[in-house]
Amino acid sequence: MRFEFASLTLLASLLVAHAVPIAHDEIVSKTADGLHLLSLAEDEDPVWKTEDEKLELLRQGVQFFDVTYTYEVEQELPNRERLAATAFPSPSHQTAVNAILDTLSISNMQTYLSGLTAFNNRYYTTTTGAQASDYILNTVSDIISGRSDMSVSLYKHSWAQSSIILKIAGSAASTPVTIIGAHMDSINLNNPTSGRAPGADDDGTGTVNLLEALRALVAADYKPAKPVEFHWYSGEEAGLLGSQAIATAYSRDGVDVYAFMEMDMSGYFAPGTEEVFALEADYIDSGLNAFLGQLIDEYAAFGWTMDIPCGYACSDHASWYKVGYPTTFPYEAVTGDDDPYIHSASDTTSVNGFSWTHSLEFAKIVAAFAYELAPPA
């Protein structure tokens, strides 16, 4: 999900400050009434909104965290001072990585995406959204069949659609973990629950980039010395719900995350524009962004540039950044040259500007990111 910045006037009109932390009883009562607790800006207290008000914010392009289910846990987390940018090693496993990248298949990604877009929509509260979770779970289970060092499970939430977590155990150490994520939900802003939302690009492409990279790594008998996880998140389109739940839980439990990369949209660049990876400029770790640039230089068919800031809560990487983990996010195109058909029935692979060869390069970066940051012993 990507939106342009909302006007400052609109944001200012929506902010109502709480003098003290919100009480547990208030959260229970208002949630039971169907209200959502939304964080609309950094360093501002969250506000309660109805479902209709929340949807109207989405339609106006206002980005937010829906913290209804994570607010109390976040209040208990220690205040983390953000450290200086982490230094990551330069790519150094070219022979092994290139051999894996050569096996990546557009045809496989097309097959995976056809399964996802067959659902009327993948909205987080719907039956079809839950079925899409099961589809990904079953697909990953088939990919990792026979690997005792790999496991996949649903990460259940209080809404219908689950997130999915694939874990690859480290052969030499149990920590730190390298994580790559995408969101598997979709939305039609005109009618979220029953409107057609194929979500081919947003974020079907990111979802299948992870699936195909995982398949190639498994086929190469990849066994990292330190653990790797692939995540597919529920409810990103409704306020980064799934990624917040997981990132907050990892922070609460003291999980040591080495690096997190988000893959949200990789299939489109406007006709006539330069084909690039657009590296997000905010809510990221500059050291990890520098490593990502090196990775693209080494393994991709085209280059990279910095995007304009994507703003508050623009995608799932922000959930991990918020709790102190190093993050990065390569986007399909510079903002303005990206897919204008998202959040509608028109988000399909048939639009002018969609490119499978473009998306394949992002799958390459997924596989390379995992291997270079968590190589075999």
Q: Give me the active site residues, please.
A: 183, 202, 236-237, 264, 343
Give the Cα separation of 137 and 321 in Å (integer).
26
Q: How far apart are the first and last CA of the chain?
A: 37
DSSP 256-294: -EEEEEE----SB--TTS---EEE--SSS-HHHHHHHHH
Tokens matching residue 39: 């964080």
Instruction: Report DSSP state, residue 4.
Output: P
CB 285, CB 328: distance < 8 Å: yes
CB 182, CB 140: distance < 8 Å: no
Is the sign of the CA dihedral 267, 208, 325, 187 positive or negative?
positive
Strand partners, 155: 163
Give the Cα separation of 372 and 81 in Å (integer).
27
Q: At 355, which amino acid appears? A: S
